[in-house]
Chains A and B, each alone.
Chain A
């Protein structure tokens, strides 16, 4: 129960951060990626500050034997750099640039009942199934 509540709270907090940062406005994201045009570099601060805050909390988490609401830590194990990692990143970056949405902001905007974001999330779902089917 407490594990569900903390995950819910973190989802809400993450969403609030995306909204305040400007990440849920596709125009901001497109401006951020428009390095050779009308570049708007501000979203760099989202990544930089977000990463540093996460890094600090990860340092804290590593001092505990187990998470506060669950029995075990699930740190990622993979260190493999392969073709799917790179090709996947190329495709993701392209889609991100075309719509101005990455998965988090798209879900938040869909929650705000933005019709374009809802269509984007449904397409994301289809892309997820397509990749799963092809990988088999």
Chain B
């Protein structure tokens, strides 16, 4: 058990370092903030800026590569209708909320905090608090 927790910390730190290299690298090479929701929303509007599409393609391709090379079928669980309905409600909230609030875990979280932006720090505290409260409510109501 202790072993598992340690591996999770290690993986989180290694993954975090790669994420930091990528978001710092996007500024160093492209002069851009690696805010995934912002990149996604502008692309959804039909942006012609190629770097946005290239970055999104890289993200999606990383998932595809993982599936092809490492886990052909994780647990092969068959999602039920509730899982899809939950994904629809949550996806609407995330799409709407990140556009309204101009950022998500990457733009406000990683990049905004790295710029020491008070605006982003506030956004991070609010979405973390919101997530923690909603989780607690789901626990209380037996939805989790």
Residues of A participating in the B interface, judged by any CB pair closer than 8 Å: 3-24, 28, 30, 33-37, 40, 42-58, 60-61, 64, 66-76, 78-81, 84-99, 101-104, 106-117, 119-132, 135
Contact = CB atoms under 8 A, between A and B. Distances in A.
Interface residues of B, number: 101
Contact of B56 (A11, A58, A67): A11
Given A96-B105, A124-B92, 10 more contacts: A6-B26, A34-B135, A46-B15, A54-B20, A85-B119, A95-B89, A98-B86, A104-B105, A111-B63, A125-B95
Interface in B77-108: 79, 83-84, 86-102, 104-106, 108
B25 A85 contact: no
Contacts, number: 457
B96 A127 contact: yes
6 contacts: A15-B63, A51-B110, A66-B31, A95-B90, A111-B59, A115-B84
Interface in B98-133: 98-102, 104-106, 108-119, 122-124, 126-132
Nearest to B85: A119
B80 to A, nearest CB: 10
Contact of B29 (A10, A30, A120): A10
A108 B61 CA distance: 7
Given A21-B19, A73-B27, A123-B91, A86 B101 contact: yes
